[in-house]
């Protein structure tokens, strides 16, 4: 009954408004209805197909030598890797994947690109590489149940990368750390300790120096000074109230950079000394928002070339950059 009375009241108000417009400005009801129709035409619903369709281009990057612009674009309704010559403008498709989209790729050096692709949506990713000289695509972990993830580019010159892989336990999410030589197509085991932990951080000598484990909402971090030492508890936080996320070590492999809001109102990028077990410097923070570590939104860029973090960016209404060393 209440709803019916409300609808009647709404209709009365509409009639009164039309009458006022007509008497005041000579605007007819047909004009008002035409304006309403135009508004509805401009506010068409976005179809499901349009909403979920692939972008025209995504993950745009520049090759290490600056000669190519690379990006992902559709080929037979699947996202593949393309490069465009910066001088001639010529576009070349480097991959022809038709079963699953490529969602991420990386330049190893100016001659080689790597990417990871799963099969049938199983979220277990095989490692592929593209040789720009031949446009040849090779799968380097072509076995049943393969799963791997890039940790870092080890040596662009030697074409070696560090990955975590389950090749010792195919089909299972039990991983070990490997150095992969792409020229020799050879894997070298670096550590199988990562099975003990939920996450870890390498120093610049590719040694595991930080690790953590999750126990419910509690996150416990461990640290060791060298590979010969035992891991010791560094700190513990409850993720309902605090957050702490180590990112990478400094050039001397003594301190590390992290996202943290422990003892702070907002999450910031900090420098942390594990020997003293305390924050030694705040590199970037926002007065209102938290800084996050999702690479699609917020990011800290550490330069292996200069041996220091160069900038961080944080995305709120727009992307905001904080440069630590303008000369670098």
Give the span between the Cα atoms of 161 and 148, in whole angstroms. 12
Give the span between the Cα atoms of 277 and 274, in whole angstroms. 4
* 113 and 82 assigned to the same domain: yes
* 170 and 66 assigned to the same domain: yes
Q: Which helix (H) or strand (E) covers residue 114, if one does?
A: strand 112-117
Residues spanned by the domain of 274: 197-328
Q: How many CB atoms lie within 10 A of CB 154?
A: 19
Whether residue 325 lies inside any domain: the answer is yes
Q: Of the residues 143, 168, 195, which one is the last residue of a structural domain?
A: 195
* 205 and 187 assigned to the same domain: no
* 207 and 170 assigned to the same domain: no
pLDDT in tens, the chain (328 residues): 444 444 445 556 666 665 565 555 554 445 545 545 555 556 677 787 777 788 899 999 999 999 999 999 999 999 999 999 999 999 999 999 999 999 999 999 999 999 999 988 889 999 999 999 998 999 999 999 999 999 888 888 889 999 999 999 999 988 899 999 999 999 999 888 887 888 889 999 989 999 999 999 999 999 999 989 999 999 999 988 898 999 899 999 999 999 999 988 888 999 999 999 999 999 988 888 887 655 544 578 888 878 888 888 777 777 778 888 766 5
Give the span between the Cα atoms of 184 and 187, in whole angstroms. 9
Whether residue 36 lies inside any domain: the answer is no
DSSP string of 46-82? PPHHHHHSPPSSEEEEE-TTSSEEEEEEEETTEEEEE
pLDDT value of position 298: 55
Q: Of the residues 176, 195, 214, which one is the last residue of a structural domain?
A: 195
Q: Are 260 and 274 in contact (CB under 8 A)?
A: no
* 63 and 190 assigned to the same domain: yes
pLDDT value of position 79: 96
Per the DSSP assignment, residues forming a β-bridge with 279 are 272
pLDDT value of position 114: 97
Give the span between the Cα atoms of 242 and 270, in whole angstroms. 14
* 207 and 278 assigned to the same domain: yes
pLDDT value of position 256: 96
Q: What is the total count of domains within the chain?
A: 2
pLDDT value of position 66: 94
Q: How many CB atoms lie within 10 A of CB 298?
A: 23
DSSP string of 234-267? EEEEETTT--EEEEEE-TTSSSEEEEE-TTSSS-
Whether residue 179 lies inside any domain: the answer is yes
Q: How many CB atoms lie within 10 A of CB 104?
A: 14
pLDDT value of position 29: 46
Q: What stretches of the chain show up as alpha helix (H) in DSSP? A: 2-25, 29-42, 48-52
pLDDT value of position 285: 87
Q: Which helix (H) or strand (E) covers residue 219, if one does?
A: strand 218-223
State both tokens at 12. Answer: 């009365």
């Amino acid at each position: 009954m209440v709803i019916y009375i409300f609808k009647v009241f709404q209709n009365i108000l509409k009639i009164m408004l039309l009458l006022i417009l007509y008497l005041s400005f000579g605007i007819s009801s047909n004009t008002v209805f035409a304006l309403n129709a135009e508004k509805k035409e401009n506010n068409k619903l976005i179809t499901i197909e349009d909403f979920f369709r692939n972008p025209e281009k995504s993950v745009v990057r520049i090759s290490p030598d600056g000669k190519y612009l690379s990006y992902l674009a559709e080929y037979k309704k699947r996202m593949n890797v393309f490069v465009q010559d910066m001088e001639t403008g010529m576009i070349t498709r480097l991959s022809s994947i038709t079963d699953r989209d490529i969602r991420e790729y990386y330049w190893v050096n100016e001659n080689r690109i790597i990417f990871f692709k799963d099969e049938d949506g199983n979220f277990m990713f095989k490692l592929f590489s593209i040789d720009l000289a031949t446009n040849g695509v090779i799968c380097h972990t072509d076995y049943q149940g393969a799963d791997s993830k890039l940790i870092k580019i080890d040596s662009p010159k030697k074409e070696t990368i560090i990955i975590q892989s389950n090749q010792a336990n195919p089909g299972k999410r039990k991983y070990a750390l490997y150095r992969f030589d792409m020229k020799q197509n050879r894997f070298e085991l670096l550590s199988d300790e990562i099975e003990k932990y939920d996450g870890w951080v390498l120093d610049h000598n590719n040694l595991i120096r930080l690790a953590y484990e999750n126990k419910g909402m509690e996150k416990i971090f461990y640290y060791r000074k060298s590979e010969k030492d035992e891991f010791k508890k560094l700190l513990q936080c409850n993720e309902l109230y605090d957050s702490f996320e180590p990112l990478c070590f400094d050039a001397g492999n003594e301190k590390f950079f992290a996202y943290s809001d422990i003892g702070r109102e907002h999450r910031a990028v900090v420098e942390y000394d594990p020997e003293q077990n305390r924050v030694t410097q705040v590199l970037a923070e926002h007065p209102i928002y938290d800084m996050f570590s999702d690479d699609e939104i917020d990011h800290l860029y550490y330069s292996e070339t200069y041996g220091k973090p160069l900038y961080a960016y944080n995305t709120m209404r727009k992307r905001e950059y904080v440069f630590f060393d303008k000369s670098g």
